[in-house]
Amino acid sequence: MSLSKTLRTTLSIACLAIGMTAVQAKAEEREFALVFKVLNNAFSPPIQAGCEAAAKKLGDVKCTYLGPTEYDEAKQVQLAQDMVTRGVAGLGISAGNPKAMARIMKMAKEKGIPVVTYDTDVLPEDAGLRSTYIGTDNYEFGVALAQKVLAHKKSGTVCIQSGAPASENLKARVQGIRDTLAGVTKDKGVESLTGQNGWTEPSGCPVYNNDDITLAAQQVRDVMTNNPGLSAFVAVGGWAQYAPEAYKQAMTPLKARLDSKDLVVVFGDNFGPQLPLLAAGLSHYNIGQRPYDMGYETIMALDKLSKGGTVEPFIKTGTEVCTPQDALTTCGKVAN
């Protein structure tokens, strides 16, 4: 055999070996899917970034991040079912409709796919379908929002803004607000504020925006117009402030009331569009979560579970309180 032919044969074998190795490596890659409630939301990109960062660190994991572009509970359920059918190695769920999603989680469990929830948990009776919940203690988040109101107001009228009525995480926040203002413990929770501890909710409140940013901003305007003597407005998420111009138009006419704390405004979340509004005094506090950490810890938990390991039943990712004084300096660096 000639030298050139020998070299060609050797190179062909080497290339074939490299190709086989690449195919094998690809075949061994584990796919973890994170199904979020709605992608058109400031909360979504940091979760995806954390998911991808964790996957990169592990090396043999692919982060598949998906969800409906606009809020659509049925679409999210279908996307999760598609991932189960595909046979992903692990599934992370933030359920818009926890009861409907429980059916898909049961399918995943029957196929031996590890399942965790993040951001939004399932109903207590379905907790056995997932190995852990990763995110904020949502009741305590509501407590923290209400405590900031109580720092300036001891009684009055309060309107609460939430997203989807079925979201368990948001329901827990609303409950935390109500119980704290009412001055009762969690085990004696109130259904609405009708004078307990001096607090009432006006007609038409709470308001639900179903993660529609435009609607959320309009709701703020409507609430302020319909309740000129409102004592406090508490949003359990940042929706209205994600439309900063519309929010400014609603709140700037009330600047004197805001400056004197005659009206106290507290928002959940601390993303980029919200912080200039906080700095300008158009809200008094923004309490942020850590969505990047939720995405990151979800992948890490699925990695452990897919290898036969165990995780804690609740992995807290923490919160951060922001004020007008730190809004444009240190605030929100973790969440952003």
Q: What is the 3-state secondary structure (H, E, C) of 174-224?
A: HHHHHHHHHCCCHHHCCCCCECHHHEECCCCCCEECCCCHHHHHHHHHHHH
pLDDT tens digits along 139-191? 999 999 999 999 999 999 999 999 999 899 999 999 999 999 999 999 999 99
The pLDDT of 86-103, averaged and rounded, is 96
Distances (CA, A) of 88 to 30, 163, 166: 7, 30, 27
192, 113 Cβ separation under 8 angstroms: no
> What's the pLDDT at 5?
52
What does the pLDDT average to over 85-102? 96
Measured CA to CA, the distance from residue 20 to residue 324 in angstroms comes to 58
Which 8-state DSSP code applies to residue 307?
T
Which of 153, 124, 120 is CA-nearest to residue 262? Answer: 153
**Has residue 322 got a pLDDT over 60?**
yes
Domains identified in the chain and CATH numbers: 30-136+291-317 (3.40.50.2300), 138-288 (3.40.50.2300)
- For the chain, how far is it from start to end, CA to CA, in angstroms? 63
SS3 84: helix
pLDDT band at residue 220 using 50, 70 and 90 as cut-offs:
very high
Q: Quick one: residue 142, left, alpha or beta (phi over 0 = left, psi -120 to 50 = alpha)?
A: alpha
- Asked whether residue 205 carries a pLDDT value surpassing 50, the answer given is yes
Q: Residue 190 is which amino acid?
A: V
Quote the pLDDT of residue 235.
98
What average pLDDT score do residues 180-203 get?
A: 98
- Label residue 333 by pLDDT band (50, 70, 90): low
**pTM, two decimal places:** 0.82
Q: Look at residue 28 in the predicted model and tell me its pLDDT.
A: 79
Task: Say if residues 268 and 287 touch (Cβ distance below 8 Å).
Answer: yes
Q: What is the enclosing helix (H) or strand (E) of 312? A: none
Segment 23-40 mean pLDDT: 81
Is the predicted pLDDT of residue 207 greater than 80, yes or no? yes
Confidence of residue 81 (pLDDT cuts 50, 70, 90): very high
The mean pLDDT value of the chain amounts to: 92
Identify the bridge partners of residue 63 per DSSP, sorted by sequence position: 32
| Contacts with 169 (C-beta within 8 Å, 6 or more apart), sequence order | 119, 120, 121, 135, 136, 138
Whether residue 10 is predicted with pLDDT greater than 80 in this model: the reply is no
- pLDDT per residue as tens digits for the range 299-316: 999 999 999 999 999 999
Provide the pLDDT for residue 11.
Answer: 43
